[in-house]
């Protein structure tokens, strides 16, 4: 079972990935970068380059993610990533944001199965030994297109099919449509990875149980985003390891603060970064809602860290 970290724009950048890799060693097998969008008229931004720079991702198995519906743009970004030493990339077919889907990208690309098919045909034509995984939702407006999408995916030698079984229009609401995932598990040619709403060992066990019962097999892997931000030891626990201890959490957060400060000059931005992590992490601190509220109001690092310490240790 492969355990991977889902890309989360603004959160799971290289500092976060290094934190998980350093403090929860060996628990996450693969890391996917938040998406990079190719621009034919300008090079990658400093921030995009920094995030996938191998020097910033030592010891981390990183698969860069591309979000586009343009074959030419894909090829040019792929070349750049190859030059940096990457041999595999991931395509984002899941982003539900209105500005992205209106341009026919992310889950918006799923509105146009024929275009998606010819996009895949073209990228494999220009790079025959392309190692490409897909991270996909099960449709945009409706999941009725899912069998058709899967037929298209089955035409190509994709390395992994990562399925977040919601439609684009769902955003993050409701619950994952597990039946559509089971359909993929039964019918996809590529190894199938499950993604969506795995927050606990129990959620994981229930998923595996239903897969075995309904499809007669386990998925090739599980990818989690929000669950791992909330509980950085989640992958370790799923693999049979220990829960996170207060001292371990403190050391991990201290690493994040130090690393963000090494890369970001403005402490206000560093605090903002930490707050984005705490949006998810606070859910594991029932009864400490008032303290969390006060921490979210902090504007200086000293008081932010004092509240953080109190939440973790008392």
Does 196 engage in binding with ligand FMN (CB under 6 A)? yes
Q: Using CA atoms in the order 213, 218, 223, 229, what is the torsion angle rounded to 10 degrees?
A: 60
DSSP secondary-structure letter at 216?
S
Closer CB to ligand FMN, residue 7 or residue 168?
7
Residue with tokens 């020097």: 55
The residue among 118, 194, 180, 107 whose CA lies nearest residue 150 is 180
Kindly report the number of other CB atoms within 10 A of residue 263's CB atom: 15
- Interface of this chain with ligand FMN, residues 224 to 253, rule: CB under 6 A: 224-227
Kindly report the number of other CB atoms within 10 A of residue 45's CB atom: 12
Largest pairwise CA distance in the chain:
59
Pick the binder of ligand FMN from 17, 30, 105, 164 (CB under 6 A). 164
- Interface of this chain with ligand FMN, residues 87 to 106, rule: CB under 6 A: 92, 94-95
Instruction: Give every CB contact of residue 254 below 8 A, 6+ residues apart in sequence.
Output: none
The residue among 160, 68, 77, 157 whose CA lies nearest residue 115 is 68
Residue 302 beta carbon to ligand FMN: minimum distance, rounded to whole angstroms: 27
Radius of gyration of the chain (CA): 20
With CB under 6 A as the contact rule, which of the stretches 5-13, 49-57, 267-275, 288-296 interacts with ligand FMN? 5-13
- Interface of this chain with ligand FMN, residues 252 to 271, rule: CB under 6 A: none
Residue 26 beta carbon to ligand FMN: minimum distance, rounded to whole angstroms: 20
Does 203 engage in binding with ligand FMN (CB under 6 A)? no
Determine the Cα–Cα distance for residues 225 and 221; give it in Å rounded to an integer: 14
Residue 7 beta carbon to ligand FMN: minimum distance, rounded to whole angstroms: 4
- Interface of this chain with ligand FMN, residues 18 to 37, rule: CB under 6 A: 34-35
Question: x/- site string to ligand FMN, residues 121 to 160, per CB under 6 A?
Answer: --------------x-------------------------
Residue 95 beta carbon to ligand FMN: minimum distance, rounded to whole angstroms: 6
Residue 283 beta carbon to ligand FMN: minimum distance, rounded to whole angstroms: 12
Does 65 engage in binding with ligand FMN (CB under 6 A)? yes
CB-CB contact of 177 with 166 (8 Å):
yes
Residue 161 beta carbon to ligand FMN: minimum distance, rounded to whole angstroms: 13
Length of the chain: 314
Does 197 engage in binding with ligand FMN (CB under 6 A)? yes
Residue 138 beta carbon to ligand FMN: minimum distance, rounded to whole angstroms: 12
What is the separation of C-alpha 167 from the centre of its chain, rounded to a whole number of angstroms? Answer: 17
Residue with tokens 């985003």: 225
Interface with ligand FMN (CB under 6 A): 6-11, 34-35, 65, 92, 94-95, 135, 164, 195-198, 224-227
């Amino acid at each position: 079972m492969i355990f991977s970290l889902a890309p989360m724009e603004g959160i799971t950048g290289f500092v976060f990935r290094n934190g998980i890799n350093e403090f929860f060693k060996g628990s996450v097998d693969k890391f996917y970068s938040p998406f990079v969008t190719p621009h034919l008229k300008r090079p990658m931004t400093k921030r995009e380059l920094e995030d996938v720079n191998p020097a910033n991702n030592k010891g981390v198995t990183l698969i860069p993610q591309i979000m586009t519906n343009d074959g030419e743009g894909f090829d040019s970004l792929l070349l750049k990533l190859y030059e940096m030493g990457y041999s595999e990339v991931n395509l984002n077919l899941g982003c539900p944001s209105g500005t992205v889907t209106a341009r026919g990208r992310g889950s918006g690309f799923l509105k146009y199965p024929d275009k998606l098919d010819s996009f895949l045909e073209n990228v494999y034509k220009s790079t025959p030994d392309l190692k490409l995984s897909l991270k996909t939702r099960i449709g945009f407006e409706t999941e009725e297109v899912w069998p058709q999408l899967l037929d298209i995916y089955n035409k190509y030698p994709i390395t992994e099919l990562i399925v977040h079984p919601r439609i684009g229009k769902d955003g993050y609401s409701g619950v994952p449509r597990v039946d559509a995932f089971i359909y993929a598990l039964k019918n996809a040619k590529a190894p199938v990875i499950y993604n969506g709403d795995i927050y606990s060992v129990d959620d994981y066990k229930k998923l595996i149980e239903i897969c075995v019962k309904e499809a007669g097999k386990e998925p090739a892997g599980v990818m989690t985003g929000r669950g791992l931000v909330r509980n950085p030891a989640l992958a370790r626990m799923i693999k049979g390891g220990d829960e996170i201890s207060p001292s371990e959490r403190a050391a991990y957060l201290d690493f994040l603060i130090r690393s963000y400060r090494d890369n970001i000059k403005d402490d206000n931005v560093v605090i903002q970064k930490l707050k984005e992590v705490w949006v998810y992490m606070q859910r594991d601190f029932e009864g400490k809602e008032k303290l969390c509220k006060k921490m979210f109001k902090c504007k200086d690092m000293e008081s932010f860290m004092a509240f953080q310490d109190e939440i973790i240790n008392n």
